[in-house]
A and B are shown apart, each in its own frame.
Chain A
Amino acid sequence: MEETDQSSHDIAAAAAADETLERKHAAMLERLSNRHLSRLSGKPDSNSATSFESTQSFLTQFSQSKLSIESHLSRIRENADPNRKPDLESISLEISSLEKLVAENSYFLPPYEVRTCLNTIAQLRQSVDDVTSLVIPKKKFSFKNKPSKKATTVPAEKEVVLSEPEIKLNVGLEKLGFRDLNAAPGFRDRDNEVLVKEFNRTESTGQNGEFTLSNLRDCEVRLKGRLRALFMDKLINCKVYVGAVMGSVLIEGAEGCVFVLASHQIRIHNAKNCDFYLRVRSRPIIEDSNGVRFAPYCLSYQGIEKDLTEANLGEETGNWMNVDDFRWLRAVQSPNWSVLPENERIGMVDVSNVGNVD
């Protein structure tokens, strides 16, 4: 009797054990399926479309975008019409975002894929350039004496963009009392003017000074001769042509500008959609900038060769394209800057025959 009791007890215990095991198993299955579901649903929105962690899915997306860009391009090529310019612009935007996609995924992609993708992007860029020059004939660069009036209609919203890096002006300097910030040599708060300054080469003061360009809009600035340092801040739609700077150039806040500069050092902060034609002894740097493009120096006036040579800037160093982006410390090309395509560059700018207004 006792024995059967014992065995039935055993059976019951075994059944109970079975039950808990089964329950555990079921719970585990449920957990697994939950996790699977969350992985399926969670991934697309949490990681968005920019990171796949899978070479295969990345390549699929990449080639899809590539195909769509190519078909777009060939359509435009067949039907050359100058009104298609916005289309071309949107295509180059697409290419930029494609480049960004590669950059964002570069950390897991094999080096080979990164290289081929970057090559493909370069080819796409090239064909966009080709189509652009086919559809829109290249503009001849001509030197106007006055900046065009129509540019003045842009302001309003642009103000907002540049006010961001603006600093509360010099609380510390006020304490000084005896030094007025605006007394330092420079052009400030001008609108739609041509500003010319020739630095006297014979006086030692002429070449030892610093110069400031601050808060200019739709202006054209020509600085001839040699100077020691150049500070620029808050420039909108300006053209800035500068001879030889024997020290450094510092730019903070520029939008829609063209700069032609020769200098020992160049630092560019908060610049947007600007073109830089540089001769520089060291590597130019950009920080918090985007849409900036670089090309070699192209300025001429009477005596510029002498100015450049004496400032140790007589020879092209090729540094104009060795740009360091402090916001992009990765091996792949920064999306914030590019080399200005040759067919979009301005020609040699001659600022010889303009007098001194200052």
Chain B
Amino acid sequence: MGLLSIIRKIKRKEKEMRILMVGLDNSGKTTIVMKINGEDTSVISPTLGFNIKTIAYQKYTLNIWDVGGQKTIRSYWRNYFEQTDGLVWVVDSSDLRRLDDCKYELDNLLKEERLSGASLLIFANKQDIQGSLSPDEIAKVLNLEAMDKSRHWKIVGCSAYTGDGLLEGFDWLVQDIASRIYMLD
């Protein structure tokens, strides 16, 4: 029995997925996690460090690692890369000025070997704010098409404020991971 099949067996038994949420500060990572978990989103402080949420989603257990995005602590992101099944990159669609920063950090992140197998979901957050860029526009700026061949990815417009789009995004992510790890069971 190969190592891969052992790992698959263990994972199948637990039906666990490890999901890493990253993105620039102020993009709404913590708010997204709180919202899908049905918690109050009106009092959220900028994340100093990280939060872990375990959520039962469909027949899976999601371990969501929500890591702070402030510049000073971005260098610690790599401490969370190990064994990541799904990567969620959150973009503040209303912050046009820092889209360059956003592209730069995402490109850096995707170079990481330990994340090479992970499915990538991009949330174009804050769609409810007037003047926000659409998911298509964000996809263009971030040049997402360039990784068509190397990775499973999808961009979804959402609003952590209203909750729109969050389930659509996580549905895709969970299905995509499941079809890779659990072989369509």
- A and B from one complex: yes
Tell me if B48 and A285 are in contact (CB < 8 A): yes
The distance from the CB of A62 to the nearest CB of chain B, in whole angstroms, is 29
> Total number of A-B contacts with CB less than 8 angstroms?
104
A184, A209, A248, A324: the one within 8 Å of B96 (CB): A184
Tell me if A208 and B48 are in contact (CB < 8 A): no
Q: Which residues of A contact B140 (CB under 8 A)?
A: 175-176
Main SS class of interface, B: loop
Which of B15-23, B79-87, B126-134 lies at the interface?
B126-134
Task: Tell me, in angstroms, the Cα distance from A231 to B24 when the chains sit together.
Answer: 14
The verdict on A205 contacting chain B, using a C-beta distance below 8 Å, is: yes
Q: Which residues of A contact B132 (CB under 8 A)?
A: 210
Tell me if B100 and A167 are in contact (CB < 8 A): yes
A176, A281, A329: the one within 8 Å of B43 (CB): A281
Task: Tell me, in angstroms, the Cα distance from A265 to B129 when the chains sit together.
Answer: 16
The distance from the CB of A294 to the nearest CB of chain B, in whole angstroms, is 15
Q: Which residues of B contact A285 (CB under 8 A)?
A: 45-46, 48, 70
Chain A interface residue count, CB cutoff 8 Å, equals 41
The verdict on B119 contacting chain A, using a C-beta distance below 8 Å, is: no
Q: In the complex, which range does the number of interface residues on chain B fall in?
A: 20 to 34
The distance from the CB of B107 to the nearest CB of chain A, in whole angstroms, is 11
The answer to whether A287 and B72 touch (CB under 8 A), given A229-B129, A265-B26, A265-B45, is: yes
Task: Tell me, in angstroms, the Cα distance from A136 to B132 when the chains sit together.
Answer: 49
Task: Tell me, in angstroms, the Cα distance from A137 to B14 when the chains sit together.
Answer: 70
Closest B residue by C-beta to A329: B48
Tell me if A233 and B133 are in contact (CB < 8 A): no
Closest B residue by C-beta to A178: B137
Closest A residue by C-beta to B25: A267
Q: Which residues of B contact A96 (CB under 8 A)?
A: none
The verdict on A161 contacting chain B, using a C-beta distance below 8 Å, is: no
The verdict on B149 contacting chain A, using a C-beta distance below 8 Å, is: no
The verdict on A247 contacting chain B, using a C-beta distance below 8 Å, is: yes
The distance from the CB of A322 to the nearest CB of chain B, in whole angstroms, is 8
Q: Which of A280-312 contact B (CB under 8 A)?
A: 281-283, 285, 287-288, 312
Task: Tell me, in angstroms, the Cα distance from A245 to B79 when the chains sit together.
Answer: 34
The answer to whether A172 and B99 touch (CB under 8 A), given A210-B130, A327-B72, is: yes
Tell me if B42 and A326 are in contact (CB < 8 A): no
Task: Tell me, in angstroms, the Cα distance from A168 to B43 when the chains sit together.
Answer: 34
Q: Which residues of B contact A228 (CB under 8 A)?
A: 94, 128-130
The verdict on A170 contacting chain B, using a C-beta distance below 8 Å, is: yes
Tell me if B94 and A281 are in contact (CB < 8 A): no
Tell me if B94 and A171 are in contact (CB < 8 A): no
Tell me if B161 and A247 are in contact (CB < 8 A): yes
Chain B residues close to A by CB (< 8 Å): 25-26, 42-46, 48, 70-73, 94-101, 103, 126, 128-133, 137, 140-142, 161
Question: Which A-B residue pairs are the 6 nearest by beta carbons?
Answer: A282-B45, A283-B45, A326-B72, A172-B141, A209-B130, A285-B46
